[in-house]
Amino acid sequence: MISALQKILESEDFPEGSAWRMRNFEAQEIIVREGEQDGHLYLVVTGDLRVTGQVEIDDARTMHPGICDLGPGDVFGELCLFDQEPRSATVEGLNQGQLIEIKANRLNQWMDRHPALGLKTLREFYGELISRLRKTNQRVESLFAWGLRAHGIDKHI
């Protein structure tokens, strides 16, 4: 978990109810949907969630591959701290659980007012994003190699 985020949630000037709230979720409940905007980031307290994307195979077919699973202590949706783009994936509950829903604009304002802890929080977010990017790069390379082998192209390289 992002330890600096926990300190922010405990701060008196980042109050529950207006800056963040506890939220229960059910199995198969969609927390965020790819393509939508909601301006929140989330911290998983209990339960498990699955992150999926949408891949168009052709004009008539799409598939929803699993990207990763999340559990207690994991954060998702943090890209809304940095841009206003729509969600890049769907997150769905695998079972019942609870998460903390944090308003991104309130968190950004808080970090501006508390730059030392704000910088530490951003560094922890960057560390998590870098880890995810490295894993994504490995997956893309593996899929590319698989595609070359599956189509016999690797023999010509």
pLDDT in tens, 49-74: 999 987 777 777 766 667 889 999 99
Q: Tens of pLDDT along 113-134?
A: 999 999 999 898 888 888 878 8
Q: Domain total for the chain?
A: 1
- Both structure tokens of 65: 């591959």
What is the arrangement of strands in the sheet containing 49-52, beginning at the earlier edge strand?
Answer: 30-32, 90-93, 49-52, 66-70
pTM comes to 0.81
Q: Tell me the CATH number at 49.
A: 2.60.120.10
Q: How does DSSP assign 62-74, residue by residue? A: EE--EEEEE-TT-
Domain that holds residue 119: 3-156
CB 94 within 8 A of CB 50: yes
What is the arrangement of strands in the sheet containing 75-76, beginning at the earlier edge strand?
Answer: 20-25, 97-103, 40-46, 75-76
